[in-house]
Amino acid sequence: MSNIKNGKGVIGWIDYRLPIFSTLQHTLIDYPTPRNLNYWWNFGSLAGIFLMIQIITGIVLAMHYTPSVEGAFASIEHIMRDVNYGWLIRYIHMNGASFFFIVVYIHIFRGLYYGSYKSPREVLWWLGLIILLLMMATAFMGYVLPWGQMSFWGATVITNLFSAVPVVGTAVVEWLWGGFAVDNALLNRFFALHYLFPFLIVGVVILHIVALHTHGSNNPLGIDRKGPQDSIPFHPYYTIKDLFGLSFVLTIFAAVVFYAPDFLGHPDNYIPADPLKTPAHIVPEWYFLPFYAILRAVPDKLGGVIAMISAILILFALPWLDTSKVRSATFRPIYKKFFWFLFIDVIILTWVGGSPAEGHFILIGQLATIYYFAHFIIFMPIIGIIETPKPLPNSISESVLNKPIKDGT
Amino acid sequence: MKNYYQIIKIFFISFILINAFLSNVFAAGSDAKITKMNFSFDGIFGVIDKASARRGLQVYNEICAGCHSLEHVSYRNLIDIGFSNEQVKEFASQFEVMAEPDSDGEISMRPAIPSDRFVSPYQNDNQAKAMNNGAIPPDLSLIIKARAGGASYFYSLLKGYEEAPEDKELSNGYYNIAYPGNVIAMPQPLYGDDVEYLDGTEASMEQEIVDLISFLAWTAQPELNDRKSMGFRVFLFLVFMTTVLFISYRKIWKKIKS
Ligand code: HEM
């Protein structure tokens, strides 16, 4: 490793001309990290691993998949039956998408709890949200590829949303379809884009990490580091911790892939697409359910679409909506409660999104939607002003080493 | 330690959540009665009962194949459930498929060979419709995975034919308590004495349905036995690796924590 710096040897020679090795050394080895990160900080690197898993399994699947209305469904069954370990590759890719979302949602809630979106990490937060939007587009298009009943009808419902756009709506939808119905043209372009988007995500992830390393990680106390005693090198401390976390999550992942591979999927997607037969309930994948609930909570189509998009866009404004100077919810008694209310609210939205839009579900969905927006637009700014935060510790090392905490902010 | 509890708590909540909404989404209409059953392939160590699957093939072939295709399965796949190459060849050769055009461009019929897919009873969907009062009998290759309730639904469906209540409108259909809506276009296919099993097993309604389920669970998930045995080894390995990494983590961090 010392060769990197003195320019000797092959690695040193290359690094002198293209500093990839010193960049890696900085990112994965030296990177000074707060010494008090808890397990919720494992989820960023986990997201990166799941992104890699999706890309690798996806490329293998693409080698055997046929993007055509006649061939798609049968080619998936060909992968499941005739390709060596094709079933394993496909089940990993299918469930990998779900785990990717679980991991990223936890990662986002971590950010919400510890105020990681506050100065100087706003751009880091925005890049994360762009990743989220790209992930959603990728997952949606991927789900269309097997061309089962839910693929087809999900694509129909979601692409039709664009018809809510005033004046040009119909034109936009036909442009998306490349025709007058969800058909071969759409399947082909979705395949092309589903292959492309993960690489865009890789690009944004690199920017995300550059932004992260500019000011370093936040930490559970939400206070800035005061000196070298507050940091430890990434390697070996966080490499081993991330590896342990990875192994733990992979164990759960393996249990799902091998013992309940279709648990998170929908049985209707094992029925080939039939444009003449609408399924009884059209439901998106579980990770879209909160947004689907918000979409359906508004009686007007255009209004629903706007509400659904705003549900994510509003997260971009958090650095301003949160008026508190204190980052970590640990020291914010009122915000901490509201954080958990929001979490429960999102669970309720998920549940409503997966239920038929009838009876009491309509009202529950509407109330939960109003609460979701109220949390960000009303409660967050107000809490920041009226709340008295608990006293912050003087420094990370002091708090970690359990020295008595003095008063003061 | 607080952290572990927190993480376990969240996983637990999420699990309940997932369960809650899945049962919500997939619960068939209240008019469909499904009996929850246990099968040989349930659970962590459950596998497909191959002898039963072979009998299931016989039931499928003698009763269901007249109406239902099995288009994702090839004859050669039957080797997986314990048939010999010879048996598969012989089984395949009773069906006819279209041959490649000969040198004059004429297309003739030839006996099927093991690499052919199961021959469909119909030329196309329109013929299927015409022969079944307008309803297309679905392909059965994936049927166990393609219905909410899976094998239990299938079991309940085949047992679900009953005398229709007076007020039920049954145009072109039959009354079935497990089918959503209770009116199905398929006439009752099984009565209990439908086949004479080649292996000497005595036929009964229960026996025939269970055998069909073994067979169709296999056609839907031919990888099931491999998947579970591989999964067990992978899982054990990962548990071991997680333990080792956890111990290393504690050891490396000792310097920092004190
Ligand atoms: C492909 C998806 C993503 C990858 C691979 C990824 C990767 C990472 C990594 C490796 C870290 C450092 C470790 C950590 O703090 O957990 C990190 C930090 C962070 N990420 Fe992400 N991320 C992804 C998506 C997102 C999304 C969707 C958001 C939120 C909108 C987000 C917001 C953040 C923030 C705010 C931090 C700094 C956390 C702190 O220091 O407190 N990330 N990300």
A261 vs B: CB within 8 A: yes
Q: Given a cut of 90, is residue B5 above it in pLDDT?
A: no
Whole-number pLDDT of residue B257: 74
- Based on the residue annotation, tell me whether A26 is a catalytic residue of this protein: no
Residue A148: strand pairing partners: A272
pLDDT, tens only, A257-276: 999 999 999 999 999 999 99
Provide the 8-state DSSP code for B98: E
Give the C-alpha separation, A132 to A138, whole Å: 10
Query: Stretch A57-74: mean pLDDT, rounded?
Result: 97
| CA–CA gap between residue B41 and residue B35 (Å, rounded) | 17
Active site residue A77: no
Considering CB atoms only, which of A77, A241, A281 is closest to B72? A77
What are B38's two structure tokens?
A: 């246990």
Name residues whose C-beta falls within 8 Å of residue A212's C-beta, 6 or more positions apart in sequence.
A44, A121, A124
Give the residue carrying structure tokens 């049985």. A267
What is the SS3 assignment for A127?
A: helix
Give nearest CA residue, ligand 1 atom 13.
A44
Q: Whose CA is nearest to atom 18 of ligand 1?
A: A44
Residue B2 reports pLDDT greater than 70 = no
Q: Between residues A5 and B69, which one has the greater pLDDT?
A: B69
Is B148 within 8 Å of B28 (Cβ atoms)?
yes
High-pLDDT (> 70) share of chain B, %: 88
Structure token pair of residue B119: 């021959």
Nearest atom, ligand 1, residue A132 CA: 27
> Does residue A285 carry a catalytic annotation?
yes
| Facing residue for A254 by CB, picked from B14, B231, B256 | B231
pLDDT at A346 > cutoff 80: yes
Torsion of CA A96, A98, A104, A110, to 10 degrees: -120
Mean pLDDT for A399-409 is: 56
Mean pLDDT of the residues in chain A: 95
Largest CA distance in chain B: 88
Examine the pLDDT at A409 and tell me if it is beyond 90.
Answer: no
Domains of chain A with bracketed CATH: 27-401 (1.20.810.10)
- Split at pLDDT 50, 70, 90, the class of B32 is confident
B139: closest CA of chain A, how far (Å): 9
Nearest to A258 among B18, B22, B230 (CB): B230
Place B118 in a pLDDT band, splitting at 50, 70 and 90: very high
- Comparing alpha-carbon positions, the chain B residue that sits nearest to A353 is B21
Mutate to test the pocket of ligand 1, among A104, A208, A242 (most ligand atoms within 8 A of CB): A208
Q: Chain B contact for A236, CB < 8 A?
A: yes
- Which residues on A lie below 8 Å from B3 (Cβ)? 38-39
Tokens standing for residue B162: 């009953």
Residue A69 Cβ inside 6 Å of ligand 1? The answer reads: no
pLDDT of residue B11: 62
pLDDT tens-digit profile of B219-241?
A: 999 999 999 999 999 999 999 99
Q: Which uninterrupted H or E stretch holds A120?
A: none
pLDDT tens digit sequence for A152-171: 999 999 999 999 999 999 99
Mean pLDDT of A349-361: 93
Distance between CA atoms of B107 and A323, rounded to whole angstroms?
Answer: 78
Q: Does the pLDDT at position B250 exceed 70? A: yes
Neighbours of A360 (CB within 10 A): 9
Compute, in angstroms, the gap from residue A300 CA to the centroid of ligand 1.
35
Nearest CA to ligand 1 atom 24: A128
Give the C-alpha distances (Å, rounded to integers) separating A48 from A42, A45, A131, B17: 10, 5, 11, 25
Count of beta carbons in the 10 Å neighbourhood of residue B200: 6
Least confident of A292-306, B16-30, B118-132: B16-30
> Mean pLDDT, to the nearest integer, of B184-211?
96
Pocket test for ligand 1, best of A28, A99, A107 (most atoms within 8 A of CB): A107
Q: What one-character DSSP code corresponds to residue A343?
A: H
Say if the Cβ atoms of A351 and B148 lie within 8 Å.
Answer: no
Q: Is A273 exposed, middle or buried (0-12, 13-18, 19+ CB in 10 A)?
A: buried
Summarize pLDDT for A140-149 with one digit per residue, the tens: 999 999 999 9
Q: With CB atoms and an 8 Å threshold, state whether B227 touches A88.
A: yes
pLDDT confidence of residue A398: 86
CA B209 to CA B215: how far, in whole Å?
A: 10
- Catalytic residue, candidates A241, A268, A387, A397: A241
Chain B CA closest to residue A352 = B21
Helix axes A289-297, A301-316, angle to 10 degrees: 130
Which helix (H) or strand (E) element contains residue A68? none
Residues of A in contact with B246 (CB under 8 A): 244
- B54-70 exposure pattern, b = at least 16 Cβ within 10 A, e = fewer: bbbbbbbbebbbebbbb
pLDDT (0 to 100) of residue A405: 47
CA distance A294 to A368: 8
Chains A and B: how many Cβ contacts under 8 Å? 113
Q: Is B99 left (phi over 0), alpha (psi -120 to 50) or beta?
A: beta
ipTM: 0.91
**Is it the case that residue A117 has pLDDT exceeding 50?**
yes
